[in-house]
Amino acid sequence: MSTHPVAILAQAACSDSGTTVWKGLFMARPLYLIFVSLCHAALRAGRGVVHVYPSFPASMNMPHCIVLIDPDAESASSTRTVMQAVAKNNKNRDILFIELGKDQADAVKFFNLEVQETPFLMIVRWDSGMGRHPFSKFRFWFPGEDRDFDDQVNRSLTEADVSSFVTKFFSPEGLEPWVISEPVLEQQSGFAYQLVGSEFKAKVMDAPRDILVFFFAPWCGFCKRVQPRVEALARRFAKTTSLSIFKFDATKNDVDHPYVNIDGYPDIMLFPRDDKLHPVPFDHTPEERCVGDER
């Protein structure tokens, strides 16, 4: 477990051990993903006091502006100062500012991140409620940074950078959602084409045919057993123009779909030609799936 605390820079927050109210300051918890349950339990027990906006229930579904830092890096202190200043200046907006340590493995895995360089900044919009999939991510791109992580760019965050990023998020034009994706695989193996995140919309959502997608994790034993059957099915329907069969590594790519939540592996879904928003899931039994990061 990480020892680096999580900082919640909010206008109001509660602790699980008393009646603490902060305005625009830090609230430290050891694990980001248990913040909600701990605070909620404290409020129910009458030990947490939140009298100022935003109240705890209101904050649950607010967007989160999240910065990942390396606690041991020289830039950690200056980044924290910047985020504190921006949090205070945006106290009237419906947004929480959160600092996570790069070593917060559970949180990094939850957001499907592979962050190599810090600081790293993004806004998360909870489309389905806080802590629930699916949700939308909006990444801050440093000047000169391409769509892959690049350790050559200047990764110094300024107050102007973060303020502009937040302002654009709330503007009418908004920010472009960030879909995590591997590079398109030039070398394909098998009969089922392996999609990456950046291809999902074009090859699945916009395709004028039925699409069957096999969502897998490379470490999942059940997936390894099922994949030969998927390949055999793809081979059988290789010349069929009304159906395409794809495989998709959901541990390294985001599923660009407003309702799809991959919470275990394998997951097989049929996206009908006339109703791509409502895919038909294959009825797996619990014994046939790996849940979460079960290895």
Confidence band for 105, pLDDT divided at 50, 70 and 90: low
The three-state secondary structure class of 60 is coil
Q: Are 59 and 41 in contact (CB under 8 A)?
A: no
Q: How many CA atoms lie within 13 A of 77 on its CB side?
A: 1
> Are 75 and 65 contacting, i.e. CB atoms less than 8 angstroms apart?
no
228 has a pLDDT exceeding 90:
yes
What is the DSSP code (8-state) at residue 34? G
Domain spanning 193-291: CATH 3.40.50.720: no
Given a cut of 80, whether residue 56 has pLDDT beyond it is no
Helices (H), the chain: 35-44, 56-59, 75-89, 105-110, 159-170, 200, 221-236
Q: Is the pTM of this model over 0.75?
A: no
> Do the Cβ atoms of 133 and 125 come closer than 8 Å?
no
Residue 11, pLDDT > 70, answer no
Q: Which residues contact 261 (CB under 8 A, 6 or more apart)?
A: 128, 132, 133, 134
DSSP state of 111: T
- Tokens describing residue 40: 């909620």
In b/e form, how buried is each residue of 242-271, taking b as 16+ CB within 10 angstroms? eebbbbbbbbebbbbbeebebebbbbbbeb
**pLDDT at 30 > cutoff 80:** no
Model confidence band, residue 110 (pLDDT cutoffs 50, 70, 90): confident
54 to each of 36, 61, 74, 213, how far by Cα in Å? Answer: 14, 11, 32, 41
User: Reduced to 3 states, what is the DSSP secondary structure of residue 13?
Assistant: coil
Tell me the pLDDT band of 152, cut-offs 50, 70 and 90: low
More confident of the two residues 35 and 241: 241
Angle of helix 159-170 relative to helix 75-89, nearest 10 degrees, comes to: 40
Q: How many CB atoms lie within 10 A of CB 17?
A: 10
- Cβ atoms of 49 and 14 within 8 Å: the answer is yes
The mean per-residue pLDDT over the stretch 186-204 comes to: 93
Q: If pLDDT is split at 50, 70 and 90, which confidence band does 51 have?
A: very low
Domain boundaries, the chain: 6-170, 193-291
C-alpha to C-alpha distance for 152 and 120, rounded to whole angstroms? 14
pLDDT of residue 280: 94
Tell the residue number behind the tokens 């910065």, with chain if given.
67
What does DSSP assign to residue 201?
I
Q: What is the pLDDT of residue 153?
A: 63
Which residue type is seen at 182? Answer: E
User: What pLDDT shows up at residue 261?
Assistant: 82
Q: In terms of CATH, what superfamily is 6-170?
A: Glutaredoxin (3.40.30.10)
Same fold flag, 6-170 and 193-291: yes
* 217, two tokens: 């994790």
Peptide linkage before 266 cis (omega within 30 of 0): yes
* Whole-number pLDDT of residue 148: 52
Residue 291: band (very low, low, confident or very high) from pLDDT cuts 50, 70, 90: low
